[in-house]
Structure formats: C-alpha cells, structure tokens
C-alpha cells in the first residue's frame, strides 16, 4: 500500500476494501464539510446497480491513493444501512418589507442554519451509468 492521504483526496470510484483486504465496492460519495475539515463518512456502492451503504468515518481504517480500507468485515459491511441523501435546506425570506428586526432575524436564522445544519459534499456522486462503467472496468483489469 502507498502512503496515507487525507479524506479530502477521496474521489468517486476509488476502491473500498474490507479489513481482510477483500473488495467491497467503490466510493459513491464523500460526506463531510471540507471547509471545516470534518469527515462524516462515505457512501459505498457494492455493485453497479446496488444502493450505496453508509460507512461512518470511524469505520475507515486507512486511506491511500485510490483505495479506502475499512475496519469492517464483509459481513459487517453487508449489515450497514443505505446511504440517504441529506435534506436540502433553503433560506426562506419574508414576503413583506420588514424593518430592522425582521432583517436581523433573517440574518440570525441564516447563520444558525450554516452552523447547525450538517453539510455534505456531493459534487462527485456516481450516476448509474458511471457505476455500470466501474463495474465492468473491474473485469478488464
């Protein structure tokens, strides 16, 4: 194995291994807040058409270039729950032109939402077509 790398380097399509080195699947998404360097976990697709499973960051044993090794067995991985997309958040503005109190209240709600709402990185999500391509690529190499 290569040198360890940061979770910020993980990309969709990286190989995911069980604790014994057997292949479990591929990275579908990385969950966390890269601006605050908070790693929450991974969505791991076990097959091209399968639904991704959610792996907590505490279950990641090692990250090297192109490979994420978990501290889980194949059986433990199979018992993990499905990865669910987080609820989207929107800022709701008041309809009326309020005074300073309403404006300040909106700003407080905006800051509160940024601080308390969990953030996730989704720019590298695997579409069904990319999953199929990764699935067939395993057989070539």
Smallest Cα–Cα separation from 23: which of 135, 127, 121, 140? 135
**Rounded Cα distance, 110 and 98, in Å:** 16
Domain map (residue ranges) of the chain: 7-85+122-140
Judged by DSSP in three states, 128 sits in helix
Does the 7-85+122-140 domain belong in CATH 2.30.30.240? yes
**Rounded Cα distance, 86 and 120, in Å:** 8
Q: Could you report the average pLDDT of every consecutive run of 10 residues in the chain (141 residues)? A: 89 95 93 90 84 92 96 93 61 52 56 50 54 61 52
pLDDT at 85: 62
pLDDT at 83: 75
**Rounded Cα distance, 30 and 44, in Å:** 9
pLDDT at 119: 47
Rounding to the nearest 10 degrees, give the CA dihedral for residues 86, 87, 93, 94.
-150
- Supply the DSSP symbol for 57: G
- In the chain the first and final C-alpha atoms are separated, in Å, by 18
């Amino acid at each position: 194995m290569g040198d360890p790398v940061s979770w910020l380097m993980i990309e969709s399509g990286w190989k995911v291994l069980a604790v014994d080195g057997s292949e479990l699947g591929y990275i579908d998404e990385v969950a966390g807040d890269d601006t605050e360097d908070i790693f929450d976990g991974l969505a791991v697709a076990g097959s091209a058409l399968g639904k991704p499973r959610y792996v907590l960051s505490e279950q990641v044993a090692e990250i090297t270039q192109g490979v994420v090794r978990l501290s889980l067995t194949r059986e433990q991985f199979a018992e993990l729950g499905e990865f669910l997309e987080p609820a989207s958040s929107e800022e709701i503005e008041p309809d009326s032109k309020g005074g300073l109190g309403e404006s300040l209240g909106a700003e407080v709600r905006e800051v509160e939402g940024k601080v308390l709402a969990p953030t996730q990185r989704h720019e590298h999500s695997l579409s069904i077509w990319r999953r199929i391509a990764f699935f067939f690529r395993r057989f070539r190499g």
